[in-house]
Amino acid sequence: MPTTVVILSGIICQVFLYQSIVAQLTSIVPTPPTPPVPFCGDAVDASGVSPCESLWDMCNNSLLMPFMNISCRNTCGLCPTPPTIAPTTRRPPCVDNALPGMVSDCLGKEDLCADDDYKELMEEQCPRTCGVCDPNERTDGCVDFAPPNKRSSCPMNRHLCFDTMFESFMKRYCRYTCKYCPGDCVDEVAEDGTSDCSKYKAYCRHPDYEEFMKTECRATCGFC
């Protein structure tokens, strides 16, 4: 067989091979992922299969590169490395420490906060009593909604927190005022750190006391 015919036959075979590969690549459609993550991966065909892995050696082929760069980005190493996101750290709540099931004994020991012998220990165990943190400052980003450069109207509408007509609205826009923030499902306590809610659990659903119990005994009454 003449040399010219052999070369021509090889070129024709190569063309048919490329056409076959292009047909595979153009038949697969990238499936968009769930937003907001941008898609970067190998596309798949109607049956959910991708031929990209078997075609990895074509990534740098000058004829097929335009197709490979679109449909086989992952196989061809074109996907960017996802950024490393540092974990979010939150400050601990401003409360005095206490043993499990016990009431903190920090109250009444304020004078030790300034005592050089106990200052470090007191600030660690009794941060609220010693004033090293603000008990009213949120540390978890749970705040009331407010228009730009304006104060929130939530505090003056506190009485609507448990109103059946406004409850869903208040949960969304007045989370801090209505105590819908994570960790807010607690009973109110007196100055000595104790609560009488457990004694009055029978009044949780009493028509005359329910609103009061929703505010003062949320955890005991299961209103969270």
80 lies in some domain: no
Residues 157 and 207 in one domain: yes
Indicate the pTM of the whole model: 0.30
Q: Please report, as a single letter, which amino acid is at residue 146.
A: A
pLDDT digits (tens, 9 = 90+) for 135-178: 655 555 677 777 777 777 888 888 888 787 887 888 888 878 88
Looking at the structure of the chain, the number of domains it has is 3
* Residues 146 and 176 reside in one and the same domain: yes
Tens of pLDDT along 39-86?
567 887 777 788 888 888 888 888 888 878 888 888 888 876 654 434
Q: Domain range for residue 170? A: 140-221
The b-or-e profile of 212-224 (16+ CB within 10 A means b, else e) is: ebbebbbebbeee
Mean pLDDT of the chain, nearest integer:
72
DSSP state of 196: -
CA distance between the termini of the chain:
88
The residues, any chain, with a CB within 8 Å of residue 56's CB and separated by 6 or more, are: 72, 75, 76
Residue 77 inside a domain? The answer is no
With respect to residue 121, please indicate whether it lies within any of the assigned structural domains: yes
Q: What is the pLDDT of residue 94?
A: 73
Residues 176 and 133 occupy one common structural domain: no
Q: Alpha-carbon torsion 111, 96, 190, 212, what sign?
A: positive
Same domain, yes or no: 185 and 145: yes
Do 144 and 215 belong together in one domain? Answer: yes
Last residue of a domain, one of 109, 137, 165: 137
36 within domain boundaries: yes
Based on the domain organization, do 151 and 122 belong to the same domain? Answer: no
Co-location of 55 and 101 in the same domain: no
